[in-house]
């Protein structure tokens, strides 16, 4: 019986343990970053909700450019869906982190070696990334509605509203494209 306990340890090389240690560290750091960013976005969701009240007049000073109740309802729906995706993404990432840390703590001799199913890990990280992307998309849509409520409807052609929405959509779409490209590259290599 003693022989079987020591058997796996005899054939491990220091380089494989070191490689596993750095991989684990990178994974935990990536998951930490994802949870932190999702937390910031969740705060943005609540700020968006708190700044907007139904029946609020826009800064356009034209009653026909004020957003109606349907825009406020869309805003609330988009904020709730965005929050749900960010919460999903954070919980999946946190669950993966817990699994990695618990598996690390099983054996003192292998403090940095993780035995986790690679398919499970990839599926979890993919789910978390997809949740973050969808959360960002719905947050962007809700911010478009905040802009319409505060600066006037886009259909009125308000210069400030149109420029704000164009900037928001361009920058967020570009950032999401970089994020998705990087995630796809990481999953395929």
Q: What is the pLDDT along the chain (189 residues), one digit of tens a residue?
A: 444 443 333 333 344 444 555 556 666 777 777 777 777 777 777 776 676 666 677 777 777 788 888 888 898 899 889 989 988 988 888 888 877 777 766 555 554 555 667 788 788 888 888 999 999 999 999 999 988 888 888 998 889 999 999 999 999 999 999 989 988 887 777
- pLDDT given at position 119: 80
* 57/150 Cα distance (integer angstroms): 7
- pLDDT given at position 114: 54
DSSP per-residue codes, 94-119? HHHHHHHHHHHTT-GGGTT-----HH
Selection from 90, 88, 89, 116 nearest residue 101 by Cα: 116
């Amino acid at each position: 019986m003693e022989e079987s306990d020591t058997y796996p340890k005899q054939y491990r090389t220091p380089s494989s343990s070191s490689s596993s240690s750095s991989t684990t560290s990178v994974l935990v750091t990536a998951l930490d970053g994802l949870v932190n960013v999702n937390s910031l976005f969740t705060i943005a969701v609540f700020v968006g909700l708190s700044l907007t009240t139904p029946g609020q007049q826009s800064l356009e000073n034209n009653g026909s450019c004020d957003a109606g109740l349907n825009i406020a309802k869309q805003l609330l729906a988009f904020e709730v869906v965005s929050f749900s995706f960010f919460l999903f993404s954070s919980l999946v990432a946190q669950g993966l982190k817990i699994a990695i840390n618990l598996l690390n703590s099983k054996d003192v001799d292998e403090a940095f070696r993780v035995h986790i199913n690679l398919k499970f890990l990839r599926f979890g990280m993919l789910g978390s990334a997809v949740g973050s992307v969808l959360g960002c998309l719905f947050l962007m849509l809700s911010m478009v509605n905040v802009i319409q409520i505060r600066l006037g409807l886009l259909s009125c052609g308000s210069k400030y509203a149109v420029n704000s929405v164009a900037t928001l959509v361009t920058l967020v779409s570009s950032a999401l494209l970089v994020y998705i490209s990087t995630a796809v590259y990481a999953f395929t290599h």
